[in-house]
């Protein structure tokens, strides 16, 4: 029995070179996000002052 | 006039109903006339409000119109056929206009250094990063909106969107995300005034300049130059939470510097701007009037650039640099005025354009060194 479903208009698959580019982009984005986390941590420390570390356990 | 290209998305049609009433309420001349929109994908109509005073040779308009139609269609087809881009991190970084961003960093940092007050170095660095990202975001939104005309000009055709490396929708999302993020971060680490000024700067560059002034009036870069002049004021607002005379003078220097800088480029690239339908001063008022105005702006700008020394926040080194380089700027402007033909004229324009970048960078770098590193206090002051 033949498949009567309409064909999906799928995009052309990426070439290996395109995949490598997208992988490099993903790595760069991960590094930026990690940098942002460090950035917010340091800025919070500076804004709040060293007393933020002096809290009762 | 070429017919509109099928599938071309003209965002101005969406924006005009929103901003038109706002401009009218503000006593301005209302939404832009039809000129800026239609020619953005072709050449200005013959006899239109901004038709060039120097007519193109016979046949040139027809030929260029056909070429533009093909180029624009190629751009539209290229971007519409893409479902996901293969742009790398460097392409996204290019969307932020890194060279403009570096100038923003220098000028904003100088605004911080000359402000009467102090700020924690880490917070200053963080605020500077937010200002730079905000400026980059506005550049990104500018590239998103101008992708159609960028594809027509040799200087901008290789940008990430017209070359097809990044999708317009990606650039829009990237620009909007960075805009909102940078303003929020600056508000959290500095103050509301600095964040509001950054938000206004982004709005002014991306909407007022890119979407409205650029394709409408030959005064586009004069008024739009304010966007590039705001960073020192944002820098002062970060430090003091207020605005003062120091940053206002720095604003004036950048504001007056912009016309000679851009018009020197526009004189050389007037063909590009004509093809894209951008009403730059040389295309509208003619090269001779542009050259006169370059000289006039330089004559006003050079004395204003000396003001920091006279007002006490620039030292002797700044006085010497601002006077000597100001004289060079005036001399190069006069050279542009006098040399109107051939290779000598082109060379004069490039000389002024190139030196104007060095000039502005030098002025702010010296102010930064004098104020930021205390050199001014080791050198004799001009007054007091």
Interface of A to B at Cβ within 8 Å reads 11, 14, 18, 21-22, 24-25, 28-29, 39, 42-43, 46-47
Q: Are residues B185 and B109 in the same domain?
A: yes
pLDDT at B35: 35
pTM: 0.77
Average pLDDT for residues B288-301, to the nearest whole number? Answer: 97
Q: Is residue B42 part of a domain?
A: no
Count the residues in chain A: 57
Q: Is residue B185 part of a domain?
A: yes
Q: Are residues B195 and B69 in the same domain?
A: yes
How far, in Å, CA of B334 to CA of B259, rounded?
15
Nearest to B86 among A18, A43, A46 (CB): A18
For residue B20, pLDDT beyond 70:
no
Q: Are residues B77 and B222 in the same domain?
A: yes
Inter-CA distances, B161 with B60, B98, B141, Å:
28, 16, 11
Q: Are residues B203 and B82 in the same domain?
A: yes
| Set of chain A residues whose Cβ sits within 8 Å of the Cβ of B88 | 21, 24-25, 28
Nearest to A21 among B88, B120, B123 (CB): B88
How far, in Å, CA of B119 to CA of B344, rounded?
49
What are the two backbone dihedrals, phi and then psi, of residue B232, each rounded to the nearest 5 degrees? -60, -35
For residue B1, pLDDT beyond 70:
no
The chain B residue lying nearest A31, using CA atoms, is: B89
Q: Are residues B256 and B235 in the same domain?
A: no
pLDDT at A7: 56
Q: Are residues B359 and B263 in the same domain?
A: yes
| Set of chain B residues whose Cβ sits within 8 Å of the Cβ of A24 | 88-89
Q: Are residues B114 and B71 in the same domain?
A: yes
Residue A2: burial class (beta carbons within 10 Å; 0-12, 13-18, 19+): exposed
What would the pLDDT profile of B215-242 be if each residue is shown by its tens digit?
999 999 999 999 999 999 999 999 999 9
In CATH, what number is assigned to the domain containing residue B126? 1.10.357
H-run or E-run covering B197: helix B192-203
b (16+ CB within 10 A) / e for B303-323:
ebbbbbbeeebbbebbbebbe
Q: Is residue B25 part of a domain?
A: no
Q: Are residues B85 and B216 in the same domain?
A: yes
Under the phi-then-psi rule, with left for phi > 0, alpha for psi from -120 to 50, and beta for the rest, what region is B279? beta
What would the pLDDT profile of B73-116 be if each residue is shown by its tens digit?
555 555 555 556 778 889 999 999 999 999 999 999 999 999 98
The chain A residue lying nearest B185, using CA atoms, is: A40
Q: Does B122 contact A21 at a Cβ distance shorter than 8 Å?
A: no
What would the pLDDT profile of A13-39 be if each residue is shown by its tens digit?
778 888 888 889 999 999 999 999 999
How far, in Å, CA of B188 to CA of B208, rounded?
26
Q: Is residue B50 part of a domain?
A: no
Quote the number of domains for chain B.
2
Average pLDDT for residues B282-290, to the nearest whole number? Answer: 94
- Tokens 């961003």: give the residue: B101
In B30-151, where does DSSP find H-type helix? 60-81, 89-95, 98-114, 121-145, 147-150
Nearby residues of B378 by Cβ (< 8 Å), 6 or more positions away: none
Q: Does A43 contact B189 at a Cβ distance shorter than 8 Å?
A: yes
> Of B243, B258, B274, which residue constitutes the final position of a domain?
B243
* CB B111, CB B233: distance < 8 Å: yes
Q: Does B84 contact A11 at a Cβ distance shorter than 8 Å?
A: yes
Query: Would you place residue B372 in the very low, low, confident or very high pLDDT band (cuts 50, 70, 90)?
Result: confident
* Between residues B33 and B128, the one the model is more confident about: B128
Identify the sign of the CA torsion B326, B330, B333, B335.
negative
- Tokens 């604003």: give the residue: B251
Count the residues in chain B: 384
pLDDT at B29: 42
Under the phi-then-psi rule, with left for phi > 0, alpha for psi from -120 to 50, and beta for the rest, what region is B208? alpha
The chain A residue lying nearest B125, using CA atoms, is: A43
DSSP class per residue in A21-50: HHHHHHHHHHHHHHHHHHHHHHHHHHHH-G
* CB B231, CB B253: distance < 8 Å: no
Mean pLDDT taken over chain B = 81
Work out the minimum CA distance from A21 to partner chain B, whole angstroms.
6
Work out the minimum CA distance from A4 to partner chain B, whole angstroms.
26
For residue B369, pLDDT beyond 50:
yes
Q: Are residues B93 and B239 in the same domain?
A: yes
Q: Does B89 contact A46 at a Cβ distance shorter than 8 Å?
A: no
Q: Does A11 contact B88 at a Cβ distance shorter than 8 Å?
A: no
Tokens of B41: 């994908």
pLDDT at B233: 96
DSSP class per residue in B260-302: HHHHHHHHHTHHHHHHHT---HHHHT-HHHHHHHHHHHHHHHH
Instruction: Note whether ipTM > 0.90 here.
Output: no
Nearby residues of B336 by Cβ (< 8 Å), 6 or more positions away: B264, B267, B291, B294, B295, B345, B348, B349, B352
Nearby residues of B35 by Cβ (< 8 Å), 6 or more positions away: B44, B45, B48, B49, B50, B215, B216, B279
> Of B243, B271, B293, which residue constitutes the final position of a domain?
B243
Q: Are residues B239 and B253 in the same domain?
A: no
For residue B284, pLDDT beyond 60:
yes
Q: Are residues B213 and B88 in the same domain?
A: yes
> Of B213, B243, B273, which residue constitutes the final position of a domain?
B243
Q: Does A25 contact B123 at a Cβ distance shorter than 8 Å?
A: no
Average pLDDT for residues B19-34, to the nearest whole number? Answer: 42
Angle, vertex CA B170, rays to CA B6 and CA B277, nearest 5:
45
Interface contacts (A, B; CB < 8 Å): 31
Neighbour count for residue A19 (Cβ, 10 Å): 12
Query: Would you place residue A54 in the very low, low, confident or very high pLDDT band (cuts 50, 70, 90)?
Result: confident
Q: Does A24 contact B126 at a Cβ distance shorter than 8 Å?
A: no
Tokens of B317: 């080194």
* Between residues B357 and B14, the one the model is more confident about: B357
Query: Which residues span the domain enclosing B382?
Result: 249-384
Work out the minimum CA distance from A1 to partner chain B, whole angstroms.
33
Query: Would you place residue B24 in the very low, low, confident or very high pLDDT band (cuts 50, 70, 90)?
Result: very low
């Amino acid at each position: 029995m033949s498949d009567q479903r309409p064909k999906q208009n799928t995009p052309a698959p990426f070439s290996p070179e395109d995949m490598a580019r997208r992988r490099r982009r993903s790595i760069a984005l991960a590094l930026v996000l990690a940098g942002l986390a460090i950035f917010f941590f340091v800025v919070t420390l500076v804004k709040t002052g060293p007393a933020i570390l002096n809290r009762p356990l | 006039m070429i017919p509109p290209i099928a599938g071309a998305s003209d965002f101005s049609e969406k924006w005009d109903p929103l901003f038109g009433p706002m401009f009218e309420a503000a006593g301005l001349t209302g939404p832009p006339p039809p000129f800026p929109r239609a020619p953005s994908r072709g050449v200005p109509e013959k006899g239109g409000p901004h038709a060039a005073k120097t007519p193109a040779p016979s046949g040139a308009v027809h030929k260029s119109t056909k070429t533009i139609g093909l180029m624009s269609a190629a751009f539209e087809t290229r971007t519409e056929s893409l479902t996901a881009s293969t742009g790398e991190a460097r392409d996204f970084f290019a969307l932020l206009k890194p060279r403009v961003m570096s100038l923003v960093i220098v000028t904003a940092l100088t605004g911080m250094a000359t402000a009467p007050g102090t700020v924690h170095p880490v917070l200053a660095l963080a605020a500077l990063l937010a200002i730079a990202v905000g400026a980059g975001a506005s550049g990104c939104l500018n590239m998103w909106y101008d992708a159609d005309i960028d594809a027509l000009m040799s200087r901008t055709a290789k940008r990430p969107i017209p070359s097809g490396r990044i999708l317009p929708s990606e650039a829009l999302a990237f620009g909007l995300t960075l805009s909102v993020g940078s303003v929020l971060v600056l508000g959290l680490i500095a103050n509301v005034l600095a964040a509001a000024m950054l938000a206004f700067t982004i709005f002014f560059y991306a909407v007022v300049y890119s979407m409205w002034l650029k394709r409408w009036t030959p005064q586009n870069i004069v008024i739009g130059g304010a966007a590039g002049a705001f960073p020192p004021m944002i820098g002062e607002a970060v430090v003091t939470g207020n605005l003062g005379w120091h940053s206002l003078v720095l604003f004036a220097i950048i504001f007056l510097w912009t016309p000679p800088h851009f018009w020197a480029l526009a004189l050389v690239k007037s063909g590009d701007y004509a093809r894209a339908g951008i009403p730059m001063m040389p295309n509208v008022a003619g090269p001779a009037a542009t050259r006169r105005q370059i000289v006039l702006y330089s004559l006003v700008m050079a004395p204003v650039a000396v003001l920091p020394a006279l007002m006490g926040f620039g030292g002797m080194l700044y006085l010497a640099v601002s006077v000597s380089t100001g004289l060079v700027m005036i001399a190069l402007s006069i050279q542009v005025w006098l040399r109107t033909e051939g290779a000598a004229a082109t060379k004069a324009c490039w000389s002024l354009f190139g030196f104007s970048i060095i000039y502005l960078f030098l002025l702010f770098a010296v102010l930064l060194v004098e104020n930021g590193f205390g050199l001014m206090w080791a050198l004799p002051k001009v007054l007091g």
